[in-house]
Amino acid sequence: MSAEDFKLDVIARDDAGKGASRRLRREEGLVPAIVYGGRKKPQNISIVYKELIKHLENEAFYSHLIELNVDGKAENVILKDLQRHPSKPVIYHADFLRVSKTKKLKMSAPIHFINEASSVGVKQQGGIVNHQMTELEISCLPADIPEFIEVDLAELEVGQSVHISDLKLPKGVESVALSHGADHDQSVAAIIKPRGMGEDEASEGEAAEDAAE
């Protein structure tokens, strides 16, 4: 989990519709949004555009517990969805989901791959890393939400894969896929041979290293 605590002051609003949303964005520098979930009714809110953009620059904001202050009343939420302009760096709308600190939730955590270029399969055997997943669906308490899941590829060789069951998840964090059984143990990444690369070429780097030793 990130060491940073995210807090966001927002304003409750009664107006809705496309016209009201455009006016907020253009005239008042606000982003229309909604907070929903829990036992409360959905609430339309607006956020200062600059404040939201500043938080979005931190990757942890996308998968971290956020304290949302709605007209001075705090609620624990996570960012559930963002609507962006298809070609411009403009946020159209944001969705926040209310969560309970005592109830587990399901969400996606980004995967960070390390030691790709220096892995056995790439550096010594000339393989190429094939990312088959970029995020992992997890289940945990809000306080245990990880900023990301780290996957070390240092020892991976050509023809080998890293599966979900190989990942070292933080304490309190579980894979949703694995909770459905071992047959859901998907491959996260693999090192493959480039096209036209034969078995002899794949082991050439390793053989050369053995000879040197």
Cβ atoms of residues 124 and 64 within 8 Å: no
Q: In 3-state terms, what secondary structure has residue 52? A: helix
Mean pLDDT of 55-83: 90
Confidence of residue 60 (pLDDT cuts 50, 70, 90): confident
Is pLDDT of 209 > 50? no
Burial class of 20 by CB neighbour count within 10 A (0 to 12, 13 to 18, 19+):
middle
Q: In 3-state terms, what secondary structure has residue 81? A: strand
- Beta strands 105-114 and 174-175, pairing class: unpaired
145-160 residue pLDDT tens: 998 999 999 999 999 9
65-76 residue pLDDT tens: 899 998 888 999
Mean pLDDT of 87-111: 90
Domains and CATH numbers, the chain: 6-98 (2.40.240.10), 105-212 (2.170.120.20)
134-192 residue pLDDT tens: 999 999 998 899 989 999 999 999 999 999 999 999 999 999 999 999 899 999 999 99
**pTM for the complete prediction?**
0.75
Is pLDDT of 31 > 60? yes
Is pLDDT of 28 > 70? no
